[in-house]
Amino acid sequence: MTQKVTYSDLTKKQINAIDLFVNPKVTSITETADKAGVARKTIYTWLDDENFNEVLNEKIDKFVNSQTAGVWKSLIANAIDGDTRAIKLFFEMQGKYKDRKEITGKNGGAIEIEQSAREKVESRINSIAERTAKE
Protein backbone atom coordinates (compact mmCIF):
# COMPACT_ATOMS: atom_id res chain seq x y z
CA MET A 1 0.00 0.00 0.00
CA THR A 2 1.42 3.36 -0.99
CA GLN A 3 1.56 6.15 1.52
CA LYS A 4 -0.08 9.47 0.72
CA VAL A 5 2.37 12.20 -0.20
CA THR A 6 2.03 15.47 1.72
CA TYR A 7 3.57 18.92 1.73
CA SER A 8 6.08 17.74 4.32
CA ASP A 9 7.57 15.39 1.69
CA LEU A 10 8.45 18.35 -0.57
CA THR A 11 10.98 21.18 -0.37
CA LYS A 12 9.95 24.77 0.35
CA LYS A 13 10.64 25.68 -3.28
CA GLN A 14 8.46 22.83 -4.53
CA ILE A 15 5.63 23.92 -2.25
CA ASN A 16 6.03 27.50 -3.48
CA ALA A 17 5.94 26.28 -7.09
CA ILE A 18 2.74 24.30 -6.41
CA ASP A 19 1.11 27.39 -4.92
CA LEU A 20 2.17 29.34 -8.03
CA PHE A 21 0.76 26.67 -10.38
CA VAL A 22 -2.59 26.91 -8.61
CA ASN A 23 -2.62 30.72 -8.78
CA PRO A 24 -4.65 31.70 -11.88
CA LYS A 25 -2.70 34.98 -12.16
CA VAL A 26 0.56 33.10 -12.79
CA THR A 27 0.24 32.02 -16.40
CA SER A 28 3.50 30.43 -17.55
CA ILE A 29 6.20 27.96 -16.61
CA THR A 30 8.76 30.78 -16.90
CA GLU A 31 6.86 32.98 -14.46
CA THR A 32 6.39 30.05 -12.07
CA ALA A 33 10.11 29.23 -12.19
CA ASP A 34 11.14 32.88 -11.71
CA LYS A 35 8.84 33.39 -8.73
CA ALA A 36 9.82 30.05 -7.19
CA GLY A 37 13.48 30.93 -7.58
CA VAL A 38 14.38 27.92 -9.73
CA ALA A 39 15.27 27.20 -13.35
CA ARG A 40 12.59 26.21 -15.86
CA LYS A 41 14.37 22.87 -16.23
CA THR A 42 13.83 22.26 -12.51
CA ILE A 43 10.10 22.89 -12.91
CA TYR A 44 9.95 20.34 -15.74
CA THR A 45 11.88 17.85 -13.61
CA TRP A 46 9.40 18.33 -10.79
CA LEU A 47 6.48 17.91 -13.20
CA ASP A 48 7.88 14.47 -14.04
CA ASP A 49 7.99 13.53 -10.35
CA GLU A 50 5.02 11.44 -9.12
CA ASN A 51 5.13 12.83 -5.57
CA PHE A 52 5.19 16.44 -6.79
CA ASN A 53 2.30 15.75 -9.16
CA GLU A 54 0.25 14.03 -6.49
CA VAL A 55 0.43 17.07 -4.22
CA LEU A 56 -0.04 19.49 -7.16
CA ASN A 57 -3.15 17.69 -8.42
CA GLU A 58 -4.64 17.53 -4.94
CA LYS A 59 -4.05 21.29 -4.49
CA ILE A 60 -5.58 22.03 -7.92
CA ASP A 61 -8.64 19.91 -7.10
CA LYS A 62 -9.13 21.75 -3.80
CA PHE A 63 -8.77 25.14 -5.51
CA VAL A 64 -11.21 24.26 -8.30
CA ASN A 65 -13.74 22.91 -5.80
CA SER A 66 -13.43 26.05 -3.68
CA GLN A 67 -14.22 28.22 -6.72
CA THR A 68 -17.21 26.25 -8.05
CA ALA A 69 -19.92 28.07 -6.10
CA GLY A 70 -18.61 31.52 -7.03
CA VAL A 71 -18.25 30.62 -10.70
CA TRP A 72 -21.74 29.12 -10.75
CA LYS A 73 -23.23 32.25 -9.14
CA SER A 74 -21.39 34.46 -11.63
CA LEU A 75 -22.65 32.41 -14.56
CA ILE A 76 -26.23 32.65 -13.33
CA ALA A 77 -25.91 36.41 -12.66
CA ASN A 78 -24.57 36.97 -16.19
CA ALA A 79 -27.35 34.84 -17.68
CA ILE A 80 -29.97 36.78 -15.74
CA ASP A 81 -28.41 40.05 -16.97
CA GLY A 82 -28.98 38.85 -20.54
CA ASP A 83 -25.49 37.67 -21.54
CA THR A 84 -26.38 35.26 -24.35
CA ARG A 85 -23.14 33.29 -24.00
CA ALA A 86 -23.87 32.72 -20.31
CA ILE A 87 -27.46 31.73 -21.10
CA LYS A 88 -26.25 29.25 -23.72
CA LEU A 89 -23.60 27.78 -21.39
CA PHE A 90 -26.12 27.50 -18.55
CA PHE A 91 -28.54 25.50 -20.69
CA GLU A 92 -25.71 23.37 -22.14
CA MET A 93 -24.59 22.50 -18.62
CA GLN A 94 -28.15 21.53 -17.76
CA GLY A 95 -28.28 19.25 -20.81
CA LYS A 96 -31.12 21.33 -22.27
CA TYR A 97 -29.21 22.74 -25.23
CA LYS A 98 -26.77 21.32 -27.74
CA ASP A 99 -25.05 23.39 -30.36
CA ARG A 100 -26.40 22.11 -33.67
CA LYS A 101 -25.28 23.27 -37.06
CA GLU A 102 -26.64 22.17 -40.38
CA ILE A 103 -24.19 21.92 -43.26
CA THR A 104 -25.26 21.11 -46.76
CA GLY A 105 -23.09 18.49 -48.43
CA LYS A 106 -22.15 18.20 -52.11
CA ASN A 107 -25.38 16.50 -53.04
CA GLY A 108 -27.50 18.98 -51.12
CA GLY A 109 -27.99 16.61 -48.18
CA ALA A 110 -27.83 17.91 -44.62
CA ILE A 111 -24.98 16.86 -42.35
CA GLU A 112 -25.67 17.29 -38.63
CA ILE A 113 -22.80 18.03 -36.24
CA GLU A 114 -23.24 18.18 -32.46
CA GLN A 115 -20.61 19.33 -30.00
CA SER A 116 -21.50 19.67 -26.36
CA ALA A 117 -20.10 22.35 -24.07
CA ARG A 118 -18.14 19.67 -22.24
CA GLU A 119 -16.41 18.57 -25.46
CA LYS A 120 -15.55 22.20 -26.26
CA VAL A 121 -14.08 22.74 -22.78
CA GLU A 122 -12.12 19.47 -22.94
CA SER A 123 -10.77 20.44 -26.37
CA ARG A 124 -9.71 23.87 -25.06
CA ILE A 125 -8.05 22.36 -21.98
CA ASN A 126 -6.14 19.88 -24.15
CA SER A 127 -4.89 22.63 -26.46
CA ILE A 128 -3.73 24.71 -23.45
CA ALA A 129 -2.01 21.67 -21.93
CA GLU A 130 -0.22 20.94 -25.21
CA ARG A 131 0.89 24.57 -25.50
CA THR A 132 2.07 24.61 -21.86
CA ALA A 133 4.00 21.36 -22.33
CA LYS A 134 5.93 22.97 -25.18
CA GLU A 135 7.12 25.83 -22.92
The residue ranges of every structural domain in the chain are 98-135
pLDDT band at 130 (very low <50, low <70, confident <90, very high): confident
Q: Which helix (H) or strand (E) segment is 111 a member of?
A: strand 110-115
Closest by CA position to 86, among listed 25, 65, 97, 102:
97
Quote the CA–CA distance of 29 and 32 in Å, as a whole number.
Answer: 5
Residue-wise pLDDT tens digits, 74-105: 999 999 999 999 999 999 888 888 777 666 76
Quote the CA–CA distance of 8 and 92 in Å, as a whole number.
Answer: 42
Q: pLDDT over 70 for what percent of the chain?
A: 86
Q: Which helix (H) or strand (E) segment is 104 a member of?
A: strand 99-104
Higher pLDDT, 93 or 32: 32
State the pTM of this model. 0.57
